[in-house]
């Protein structure tokens, strides 16, 4: 049986809903799947782990091919989206399996975005510090529903693990702007917040892309890195634990990309840190 999971199905699994799809070709033992993973590099070896701790061991050759063909440079602790295949005649994946080995990588892209811990939050009229990030454009939102052939899928900010925040960001973009957009989560260390709470500000820099013809949702299947952004909260000063509440403040506008527009509104999202299992 040939099993196929496309990017949208990986999103379903990531959001906590199991899904398996089968296609024709009962004599074909090649299994092709995809996954959102963390990169682990140790003693010269690189493998991946998903949110449940399942391990994926790619072949050295396919890992090297991803570097050559796609510029994929795995960084320990970073997050990635991968498509892989293996032969089910030589190994099987069951409910009790903990790993897959000798995987042939077909696609791999990093999802990591920037986290900045800034000493001081500027007052009105005050110059920001050098490592602060200034937004140039709003986003459309961090939660919503995507209509697919498998049904409607609802997405929202989630913790991939106890230290990695995964955002699915809907924003205006054009076909020439795939590499123009940058996102930074800013934490101001001198800002007063409730106990066990971290407030973060999502800054969107759209570069020279001023198009409102398409959105990142339109491109997520072909270019997942434009929609999925992972932020390593370990880069923040101070400790985080399962009692920590994350507040994310964003500027949203579903009509245009003008931060000064009366249609641009401030919105906050709340996420609870995921306890380490």
Q: Do the beta carbons of residue 206 and residue 177 sit within 8 Å?
A: yes
5/185: higher pLDDT: 185
Number of domains present in the structure of the chain:
2
Where among 110, 134, 169 does a domain terminate?
110
- Which residues share a beta bridge with 145? 154
Q: How far apart are CA 63 and CA 54, in angstroms?
A: 18
What's the whole-number average pLDDT of the chain? 88
Per the domain annotation, does 175 fall within a domain?
Answer: yes
At 163, which CATH number?
2.60.40.3220
Same domain? 89 vs 179: no
Per the domain annotation, does 277 fall within a domain?
Answer: no
Give the residue among 182, 170, 163 at the shortest CA–CA distance from 246.
163
Per the domain annotation, does 103 fall within a domain?
Answer: yes
Q: How far apart are CA 149 and CA 30, in angstroms?
A: 24
Residues in the chain: 277
Same domain? 88 vs 208: no
Per the domain annotation, does 217 fall within a domain?
Answer: yes
Q: Considering the entire predicted model, what is its pTM? A: 0.88
Flag whether pLDDT at 239 surpasses 90: no
What integer is the mean pLDDT of 157-164? Answer: 92
Where among 66, 86, 110 does a domain terminate?
110
What integer is the mean pLDDT of 56-72? Answer: 95
Same domain? 90 vs 161: no
Same domain? 195 vs 231: yes
Domain membership of residue 36 as a residue range: 2-110
Three-state SS for 237?
coil
Same domain? 248 vs 128: yes
Tokens of 156: 């929202």
Rg (CA), the chain: 20
| 103-157 per-position pLDDT tens digit | 999 999 999 999 999 999 988 888 888 889 999 999 999 999 988 766 788 899 9
Where among 110, 125, 143 does a domain terminate?
110
Q: How far is CA 193 from the centre of its chain?
A: 26
> Can you give the pLDDT at residue 277?
58
Tokens of 233: 């909260």
> Can you give the pLDDT at residue 127?
86
Q: How far apart are CA 273 and CA 8, in angstroms?
A: 24
Q: For residue 18, name the pLDDT band (cuts at 50, 70, 90).
A: very low
Per the domain annotation, does 15 fall within a domain?
Answer: yes
Same domain? 188 vs 251: yes
Same domain? 72 vs 140: no
> Can you give the pLDDT at residue 25?
56
Q: For residue 3, name the pLDDT band (cuts at 50, 70, 90).
A: very low
Categorise residue 238: left if φ over 0, alpha if ψ from -120 to 50, beta otherwise.
Answer: left
Tokens of 218: 């339109």
Q: Do the beta carbons of residue 56 and residue 44 sit within 8 Å?
A: no
Q: Do the beta carbons of residue 242 and residue 273 sit within 8 Å?
A: yes
Q: How far apart are CA 93 and CA 9, in angstroms?
A: 17
Q: For residue 203, name the pLDDT band (cuts at 50, 70, 90).
A: very high
């Amino acid at each position: 049986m040939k099993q196929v999971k496309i990017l949208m199905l990986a999103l379903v699994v990531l959001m906590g809903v199991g899904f398996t799809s089968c296609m024709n070709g009962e004599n074909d033992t090649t299994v092709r799947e995809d996954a959102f993973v963390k990169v682990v590099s140790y003693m010269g070896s690189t493998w991946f782990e998903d949110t449940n701790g399942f391990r994926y061991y790619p072949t050295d050759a396919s890992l090297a091919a991803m570097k050559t063909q796609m510029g994929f440079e795995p960084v320990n602790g970073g997050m990635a989206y991968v498509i892989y295949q293996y032969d089910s005649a030589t190994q099987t994946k069951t409910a009790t399996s903990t790993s897959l080995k000798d995987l042939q990588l077909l696609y791999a892209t990093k999802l990591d975005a920037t986290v900045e811990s800034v000493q001081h939050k500027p007052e009105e009229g005050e110059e920001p510090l050098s490592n602060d990030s200034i937004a140039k454009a709003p986003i459309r939102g961090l939660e919503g529903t995507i209509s697919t052939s498998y049904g409607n899928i609802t997405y929202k900010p989630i913790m991939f693990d106890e230290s990695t925040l995964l955002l699915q960001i809907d924003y205006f973009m054009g076909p020439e702007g795939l590499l123009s957009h940058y996102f930074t989560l800013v934490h101001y260390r001198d800002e007063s917040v409730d106990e066990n709470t971290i407030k973060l500000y999502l800054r969107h820099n759209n570069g020279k892309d001023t198009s409102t013809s398409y959105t990142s949702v339109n491109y997520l299947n072909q270019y997942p890195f434009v929609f999925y952004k992972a932020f390593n909260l370990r880069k923040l000063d101070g400790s985080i634990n399962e009692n920590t509440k994350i507040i994310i403040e964003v500027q949203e506008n579903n009509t245009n990309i003008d931060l000064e527009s009366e249609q641009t509104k401030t919105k906050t999202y709340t996420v609870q840190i995921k306890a380490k299992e």
